[in-house]
Structure 1
Amino acid sequence: MPSIRRMAPLAICPLLILGAPVPASAAAPGERPGTVVTTTPLPGKEAPGSTATSITYWTENSLDQPRQSLATIYVPTGTPPAGGWPILANAHVTAGLGDDCAYTDDYGTAAADVNVVTPWITAGFAFVATEYIGIGTDGSHAYLDAGAEANAVIDSVRAARSVDPTLSRDYVVNGISQGGHATLATAAKAAERAPELRLAAAMADAPATKIEGYIPVAGPYIPPLPAPDYTTYVAYILAGLETARPDFDLDAYLTPAGRAVVDDAHRLCYFDMNTRTQGTSIGQMLSKPLSTGDFPAVLRDVTTLPVSGFDAPVLVNQGRFDVVAFPFLTDLQVTEMKLHGADVTYRHYATGHNVWAQALPHNIAFARAHLAA
């Protein structure tokens, strides 16, 4: 897993799957969610005090079609506690949409990042890191597709437990930025999707929220912005919609330059995509406002986070100076969750988007407390 130093500095801008939909019930037995396709031990690439294994497993996209995902499993060495090692399901930050963008390099076979994995191993957790659907597996990645993210995270826990019998049915989920978005989506869906598991807590750091509320304001009139990241993330969002809803006519909104940028967004990783979008504004990509036609409804259907259905306690960590996952949008998300009965703890930090280091000890403490509850 790449170092936090390599994490996209603006990991979310708040601004092909082929064939007919196949109902989940129509999946072949070998395609059922959590079924493991391949298992590869990773000797010499472990986090300190752990073993490491790369797996490919079946999950589903948000149209309930069977799809494959990658994950890396790190299990503490030594004797597991009664009931097995509790699991930290990791939802990773924006890395890109193509196969080369696997957050754990070489499709899940790189040495673990000690800054990310080791604190959880030391705290007595197994660490299960999904790549989501389409990063290192067939198709492109449906960026910020809440349903697909949640499925990939939950099913990674199912898959990991089928590989290693020392893993508990109890798990927690944590992620930053795109991963924060995935964490909240997972927390709202966990009990319904996998009743055989117990989600004890969810910790969302700087989550991307309310994307559906402001991305549609974009149009040809948007001037060049000082940071290339914004064009990169809008391109990722558009490419993600194209993957999540292949029947949607995205081309109706794109200029020829925009079509070329979105094509590159399907394959280029974050830093390369930033280089690619230098000199290209969001306005230059768009032939008409995103507020018109079907775009707002499709965006809502794919990216909107639930505000109800949270059976486990949730911790949300937010930097008050975050210019990416805007604090007022996180405030609104948390308020709506609380109004719908969610048990939410909301912590603020005097920092920008990368709250990970400051939030980590609070996340571990929160996870431990609710595992014991």
Structure 2
Amino acid sequence: MKQKFNKTALTILCSSMLFLTACGSGDGDSIFSSDKKTFNVDADVKSLVNVHDVFTYTMPSVNNRDIQATTLVFTPKGTPPVGGWPVVVWAHGTTGAADQCAPSRNALDGLEKGLILALIQKGYAVVAPDYEGLGNNNVAHPYLNLTSAAQSILFAVLEVNKKYDNLSKDWSVIGWSQGGHAALAAAEFNKALVGYNFKGTVAIAPASYLAETLDLGMAVANKTATDGDVPKAISIGATLYTYAAIVSSGIKAEKTSFNYNQAFLDTKVPIAQQAETLCSPELGQVFGNDIQTTVTDSGRYSDYKALQANFKTDPDIAKYLNNNIPAQTKLDQPVYIYQGKADTTVPYPITEKLVGKMLSVNTDVELILKEDQTHSEVVSKNIPELARTVDMLMKE
């Protein structure tokens, strides 16, 4: 079933690409007009970049209708090389499903700023899409939907290259967490960009086997609580329930008849539904406070329940979890996967399973494990190395 899904999705994607290339090749030809606006950046960024834009363009949704999408575009200062600036796509990690969570609506800072500037300094234009539905008040975000993630990246590359005349068609992708999943999705479907030269993928702690990730994460949270570190257990649990809520919102984005109580207990549905209006840190705080209330009342972390006991066997959820696992077929360009061994969001055994599957289908993949590094530290502590890895891919 998985192979059939991929072929079908790729056919749809290629057809959409051909349609938009033919009908949207000039400004104003699409049902939406493209638009470039300056994205506000700080002095550190201004000192290194020439262009820092929010670019609006058209892409197809998972429900097969044209929608507006947005991406950040950065180009280095100076004269581009012959053929234009080569492009690296930055695929961001989970921010949430609400429109205000889009990177284009927030300041560029932290590890994302550090990595984008490291790539700029190596002579790459950086395209950083918001993903389908983020930054668009009229469209839901299909979180961790493989086809949507691929289209979000591929259409960003396509439309930016048409709008900006100093870019090369050489490109690669680097992504973290949700963005690691998206990067692998784009690698799977990269041939839909006819005439482009895809170089490969760097995926950092990529989301993959979601059901197993939740199970393993919950086991870690329970053990952490049993070992006496209840605050850390609450933090882990709140993060996992937040992701489960955003996944639920993602299923609903594609299948509007989906109800949150297919995944969550009725008493927790009002919290889970806030995935559509809150960004992930704020929703995590709501879940954390709810868990803390249970712990205060009963004295036991294990008494907290939020998910339906059989939610993974619900047909809508089971289909979504099965159909959106990345890299299940051979990827035709090299992949480097970075993973922290202290990661409780995407535990390293999950990524090891993914890499094992990739090797079994003959994908050229290398796993770089980082001892004692968490989900965020595997980016923040390795920015120079990550930029060098991208540089190596682009120059092969």
Q: Does residue 97 of the first structure (1) align with residue 107 of the second (2)?
A: no
User: What is the deviation of 1:160?
Assistant: 1.3
Give 1:345's aligned residue: 366
Residue by residue, what CA displacement relative to the aligned partner does 1:299-344 show, whole Å, maximum 9, x if unpaired? 2355311322411111000111211111111111111111111111
Q: Distance in 2 between matches of 1:186 and 1:298?
A: 21
Tell me, in whole angstroms, the C-alpha distance in 2 between the residues paired with 1:364 and 1:260.
42
1:240 and 2:250 are equivalent in the alignment: yes
Other-structure match for 1:54: 54
Q: Residue 335 and residue 255 in structure 1: after superposition, are their counterparts in 2 closer, same or farther (change >3 A)?
A: closer
Kindly provide the CA deviation profile for residues 255-311 of structure 1, in whole angstroms up to 9, marking residues without a partner as x.
333321232111101221122223435964434411333044322355311322411
User: Which of these residues, 239, 262, 277, is aligned with residue 267 of structure 1?
Assistant: 277
Counterpart residue number, 2:156: 156
- Aligned position for 1:88: 88
Residue type of the alignment partner of 2:76: P
C-alpha deviation, 1:367, in angstroms: 2.3
Identify if the C-alpha distance between structure 1 residues 288 and 336 changes in structure 2 by more than 3 Å, giving closer, same or farther.
closer
C-alpha offsets along residues 188-220 of structure 1, whole Å, 9 cap, x if unaligned?
Answer: 1112x212222102100111121144558999x
Change (3 A) 1:231 1:170: same
Contact 2:101 2:134 in 1 (8 A): yes
Residue 325 (str. 1) matches residue 335 (str. 2): no
* More off after superposition, 281-290 vs 300-309: 281-290
Q: Is the 8 A contact 1:217 1:291 kept in 2?
A: no
Query: Contact conserved, 1:257 with 1:284, CA < 8 A, in 2?
Result: no
Q: Hey, what does 1:17 align to over in structure 2?
A: none
SS in 1 for 2:312: coil
- Check conservation: 1:38, 1:57, Cα contact below 8 A: yes
Matched, 1:231 2:241: yes
Contact 2:216–2:347 (CA under 8 A) maintained in structure 1:
no
Query: In 2, are the aligned partners of 1:130 and 1:153 still within 8 Å (CA)?
Result: yes
Q: What letter matches 2:184 in structure 1?
A: L
State which structure, 1 or 2, has the greater radius of gyration over its C-alpha atoms: 2
- Measured on the aligned residues, the alpha-carbon RMSD in Å equals 3.1
CA shift for structure 1 position 241:
1.3
Distance in 1 between residues matched to 2:258 and 2:247, nearest whole Å: 14
TM-score (norm 1): 0.82
Question: In the aligned structure 1, how far is the partner of 2:289 from the partner of 2:387?
Answer: 42
Residue 362 of structure 1 aligns with which residue? 385
Task: Report if the CA contact (8 A) 2:115-2:383 is conserved.
Answer: no
The secondary structure found in structure 1 opposite 2:150 is helix
1:99/1:310 CA distance change after superposition, 3 Å? same
Residue 68 of structure 2 corresponds to which residue in structure 1? 68
**Using a 3 Å threshold, how does the CA distance of structure 1 residues 250 and 156 change in structure 2: closer, same or farther?**
same
Percentage identity across aligned positions? 23
Q: Is the 8 A contact 2:39 2:104 kept in 1?
A: no
- For 2:105 and 2:92, the matched residues in 1 are separated by 13
Asked which structure has the greater RCO (Cα within 8 Å, sep 6+), the reply is: 1
Q: Secondary structure at the match of 1:237?
A: helix
The answer to whether the 8 A contact 2:239-2:345 is kept is: no
Alignment partner, residue 203 of structure 1:
202
Shift of 1:170: 0.6
Size of the aligned set, in residue pairs, is 345
Query: Counterpart of 1:280 in 2: which secondary structure?
Result: helix
| CA–CA distance in structure 2, aligned partners of residues 266 and 125 of structure 1 | 34
CA separation in 2, counterparts of 1:64 and 1:309? 26
Instruction: Verify the 8 A CA contact 1:212 1:299 in the aligned structure 2.
Output: no
Which whole-Å CA distance do the structure 2 matches of 1:111 and 1:123 have between them? 19
1:272/1:300 Cα in 2 relative to 1: closer, same or farther (>3 Å)?
A: closer
Q: Corresponding residue for 1:255?
A: 265
Contact 2:209/2:321, CA 8 A, preserved across alignment = no
- Match 2:37 to one of 31, 37, 40: 40
User: Please, which of 350, 356, 368 is the counterpart of residue 335 of structure 1?
Assistant: 356
Contact 2:206 2:351 (C-alpha < 8 Å) held by counterparts: yes
Distance 2:65 2:217 in 1: 31
Question: What residue number does 1:170 align with?
Answer: 170
Once residues 40 and 252 of structure 1 are traced to their aligned partners in structure 2, the CA distance between those partners, rounded to angstroms, is: 41
Cα offset, 1:363, TM superposition? 2.7
Structure 2 residue runs without a partner (length 5+): 1-11, 226-232, 292-302
Distance 1:215 1:169 in 2: 38
**Alignment deviations for residues 33-68 of structure 1 (CA, whole Å, 9 cap, x no partner):** 9x8622213476654321211111222334444332
Q: Residue type of the partner of 2:185?
A: A
Q: 2:327 aligns with which of 290, 306, 312?
A: 306
Report the Cα distance in structure 2 between the residues aligned to 1:77 and 1:316, rounded to whole angstroms. Answer: 30
1:44 and 1:197 map into 2 onto residues whose CA distance is 30
Counterpart residue type for residue 226 of structure 1:
I
Listed one character per residue, the Cα deviations across residues 86-115 of structure 1 (whole Å, up to 9, x for unaligned) are 111010011111111122335xxx456642
Mapping of 1:212-231 within 5 angstroms? 212-213=211-212, 215=214, 226-227=234-235, 228-231=238-241
> Does structure 2 retain, via aligned residues, the 8 Å contact 1:242–1:248?
yes
Distance in 2 (alpha carbons) for counterparts of 1:368 and 1:44:
24
- Looking at structure 2, the residues matched to 81 and 334 of structure 1 have their Cα atoms a distance apart, in angstroms, of 35
Residues 251, 44 of structure 1: CA spacing in aligned structure 2 closer, same or farther, 3 A cutoff?
closer
Q: Distance in 2 between matches of 1:344 and 1:218?
A: 25
